[in-house]
Structure 1
């Protein structure tokens, strides 16, 4: 699926080292295709016979280590794909031998260059020798590729015995919006590709282990969290439950990032300049949804995320806003024709609302869902995202299937904890606690802790926070309305 190409601004502004790192994580890098042939006997016997249904191409490897403790060296992951998503000292488990299948489904777009394939809809499927009977499916955050969750999610679930499958969602990189024949099609494809991979992974698992998975769970962060929500709303028959890690909210009536990022782009330069207008600009940022106390994160997010995110998603959903220009003008001053800082979703034509409706969430989940979101998220402010989604779930009459944990001191990217260990806590341990709570809910009927705000411990010991997260500790279990 290809939308006719637009003219792209020839040069992006020079960025600082942190910004360059973030964009490098979005960029397209090539993973060397160094797959080992399946062994004639032993733990990978008969692996060459495995076939992923619907795949146009696949490559099977017999690996002594499926986690990043081994796949970095063997070329079966891409460290650039998961850069910036986890704390630098996150422990890496090891001792998980098994089979890895890399491949792609039929697609006409070519943004993903991994393995030199120049082909989108790439996937990775990992099948451990010591299987616990379960499958974990993940879509990627941002516009990253299929290895983006390898450190944050795959390593841990593989060490617990799960089979693991992930997709690049069908398009990658900061020009993902070029995919599709109409606005919104690139994002809509994300959902279809997760559904496709889930079905294919379940069938492949049945070939490998001679029985289908007893439990299928879906999880992901940011855009991956959005995919969890959408799957449990639209294909609950495929899953037993899911864990949504700060999922992106899309709904035709808002709020969405197209509502809160333009005010941030207008107000932040005034705030950063200081002077008479700085305090009013701060209030405007708070009114847009960026929480009080997150000010120390604003410079980084303005430099790395706000402008780029607004422009590329607005181009995907409302390309006519700036005419023939593709994805706007980086860091344009308010008042510049077609400037994304002046974008006002409420005044756009009805067709834009219909486009957003195509990818919108409803809250009508059909299987248990655990949601966690940091209170200091400065990309997807919690009050404009997961607070709203939790209310949608309740209003849809599905509150009994949902648990929502507001993690005090958490922000959007766990790597920022390394820069601000005295102000932030990582969400990775909270994701793992939520995941195990979901397991107990499904397997033993143990109800998870009530929804609520998980308080940041007074001592804020970084070592403890990096390893544990008690969802039952904290403030009153009241969800915000």
Structure 2
């Protein structure tokens, strides 16, 4: 996509000044930024920066852009719309027209799954610094096995338009073979948490250097695995954040439930009423039955194989591996034993591996959780329902709000195929984020836990109220 730039000496000078401020961040006390705008006259090519503008980064490159949002960046090296596939409903309106600076880079890492920018280096990140800053910072990690640009349309565009700086990480490994990272079971997932903490600290310093003052508020948020990261960060590093929004975060507990307790039933799912009863007993909502054939083809087998390989590689040493194949069909055929997997009977070492990444519910900052009642990948009954009880068990319920989205499922893109049965969660997520900031910044208590009903009419792609 062609990016139009206003050619002016003044804006180019302002951009250069801002980039020099970024380059000075390695100093103990960075000088205040002489300007908070990079202007529209900057070159489209990346700008090489001396020094260490992002603390701890091994490599970084910054560029001034007339628009940091997906609408303008699609087709450029500054986002990856292919990695966003299926996450948003067709026709979702995206904010645009947010000028600023984008910094791409990576932290030192030994794995090479992420080929973005041709770097073939993991622990990649993106930091976006809007020209008009509201004093806040939003941090997220990639959902699923995706990379750092995965939530540009879902999260980045809107928070940038509201004036927040934004930072996202690939979590330190990505792709269906992420389990190959690390030396012992659980290492790869444990790295997700470490990389999110690392980026948050670095982004806070980068923001402080660029704008001349530290962020007044830092929010953690994410979808799916990004929701898990949000829960974990607010439990383990509440000092870094002011609050968070957890969009259907994955739940890990040492004794279950988790993906390893619900997915085996789905992998071996049989047709007929007996199969439906087994699925319901495993936590899958009977109303989501129309989504099961698709998830059986696209999600369940691959997901079970990948996470079981990460946390319990000794269960079937022949799967995964090169013999497992590369297509979904080949993987399912080679990993058929995953359908008989019984987490409860696995050795204590497996449970200890899960315990390393497990959640406790002991959040230290305000958290809003949203989950669709028709989620057919992370069933709400064995995920957020349980996490809500865990938070209450830690006596932290005053810090938590839990909203069930009627008709919501794991990926909003499925709404396009079933508009009569589903509703996108994104509008409710945006409303929840607004409720969080009002809670944190103005003391406006969000509504009590409840189900957000699917309206009989109206624009469900763009409209949702968390108080209805």
Question: Structure 1 length as normaliser, TM-score?
Answer: 0.86
Match status 1:135 vs 2:134: no
Give the alignment partner of residue 467 of structure 2, picking from 462, 469, 472: 472
* 1:386-435 CA-partner distances (Å, limit 9, x unpaired): 00000000000100000000110000000001111111000000100100
What is the CA–CA distance in structure 2 between the aligned matches of 1:208 and 1:374, rounded to whole Å? 38
Counterpart contact for 1:43–1:98, Cα < 8 Å:
no
Which residue does 2:102 correspond to in 1? Answer: 100
Judge which range, 285-294 or 399-408, deviates more: 285-294
What is the CA–CA distance in structure 2 between the aligned matches of 1:424 and 1:217, rounded to whole Å? 29
Give the alignment partner of residue 428 of structure 1, picking from 420, 426, 429: 426
Counterpart contact for 1:48–1:60, Cα < 8 Å:
no
What is the CA–CA distance in structure 2 between the aligned matches of 1:224 and 1:304, rounded to whole Å? 20
Count of residues paired in the alignment: 426
Q: Classify 1:470/1:55 alpha carbon distance in 2 versus 1 (closer, same or farther; 3 Å).
A: same
Counterpart contact for 2:305–2:335, Cα < 8 Å:
no
Q: Classify 1:333/1:143 alpha carbon distance in 2 versus 1 (closer, same or farther; 3 Å).
A: closer
* 1:186-209 CA-partner distances (Å, limit 9, x unpaired): 000000000000000000001100
What is the CA–CA distance in structure 2 between the aligned matches of 1:209 and 1:253, rounded to whole Å? 46
Q: Secondary structure at the match of 1:415?
A: helix
Give the alignment partner of residue 263 of structure 1, picking from 257, 262, 265: 265
Q: Classify 1:348/1:338 alpha carbon distance in 2 versus 1 (closer, same or farther; 3 Å).
A: farther
In the TM superposition, 1:23-38 aligns within 5 A as none
* 1:455-474 CA-partner distances (Å, limit 9, x unpaired): 112x244xx2111111121x
Which residue does 1:407 correspond to in 2? Answer: 405
Q: Classify 1:246/1:334 alpha carbon distance in 2 versus 1 (closer, same or farther; 3 Å).
A: closer
| Post-superposition offset of 1:337 | 8.5
What is the CA–CA distance in structure 2 between the aligned matches of 1:148 and 1:40, rounded to whole Å? 30
Match status 1:398 vs 2:396: yes
In the TM superposition, 1:105-254 aligns within 5 A as 105-254=107-256
* 1:266-292 CA-partner distances (Å, limit 9, x unpaired): 12xx31xxxxxx111111111111101
Q: Any gaps of 5 or more consecutive residues in structure 2?
A: 1-8, 23-52
Q: Classify 1:301/1:44 alpha carbon distance in 2 versus 1 (closer, same or farther; 3 Å).
A: farther
Counterpart contact for 1:128–1:162, Cα < 8 Å:
yes
Q: Classify 1:442/1:334 alpha carbon distance in 2 versus 1 (closer, same or farther; 3 Å).
A: closer
| Post-superposition offset of 1:73 | 3.6
What is the CA–CA distance in structure 2 between the aligned matches of 1:250 and 1:181, rounded to whole Å? 20
Counterpart contact for 1:422–1:460, Cα < 8 Å:
no
Q: Secondary structure at the match of 1:45?
A: helix
What is the CA–CA distance in structure 1 between the aligned matches of 2:332 and 2:295, rounded to whole Å? 18
Q: Secondary structure at the match of 2:381?
A: helix
Q: Classify 1:130/1:345 alpha carbon distance in 2 versus 1 (closer, same or farther; 3 Å).
A: same
What is the CA–CA distance in structure 1 between the aligned matches of 2:117 and 2:332, rounded to whole Å? 42
Give the alignment partner of residue 376 of structure 1, picking from 374, 382, 389: 374
Q: Secondary structure at the match of 2:105?
A: strand
Which residue does 2:36 correspond to in 1? Answer: none
Counterpart contact for 2:245–2:367, Cα < 8 Å:
yes
What is the CA–CA distance in structure 1 between the aligned matches of 2:268 and 2:57, rounded to whole Å? 46
Q: Classify 1:284/1:210 alpha carbon distance in 2 versus 1 (closer, same or farther; 3 Å).
A: same
Counterpart contact for 2:127–2:167, Cα < 8 Å:
yes
Q: Secondary structure at the match of 1:363?
A: coil
Which residue does 1:366 correspond to in 2? Answer: 364
What is the CA–CA distance in structure 1 between the aligned matches of 2:18 and 2:245, rounded to whole Å? 33
| Post-superposition offset of 1:303 | 0.5
Counterpart contact for 1:170–1:193, Cα < 8 Å:
yes
| Post-superposition offset of 1:43 | 4.8
What is the CA–CA distance in structure 1 between the aligned matches of 2:128 and 2:285, rounded to whole Å? 39
Q: Secondary structure at the match of 1:322?
A: coil
Question: Structure 2 length as normaliser, TM-score?
Answer: 0.88
Q: Classify 1:115/1:334 alpha carbon distance in 2 versus 1 (closer, same or farther; 3 Å).
A: closer
CA RMSD, Structure 1 to Structure 2 (Å): 1.9
Counterpart contact for 2:319–2:334, Cα < 8 Å:
no
Give the alignment partner of residue 281 of structure 1, picking from 266, 275, 279: 275
Q: Classify 1:446/1:322 alpha carbon distance in 2 versus 1 (closer, same or farther; 3 Å).
A: same
Q: Any gaps of 5 or more consecutive residues in structure 1?
A: 1-37, 272-277, 474-481
What is the CA–CA distance in structure 2 between the aligned matches of 1:423 and 1:215, rounded to whole Å? 38
Counterpart contact for 1:226–1:247, Cα < 8 Å:
yes
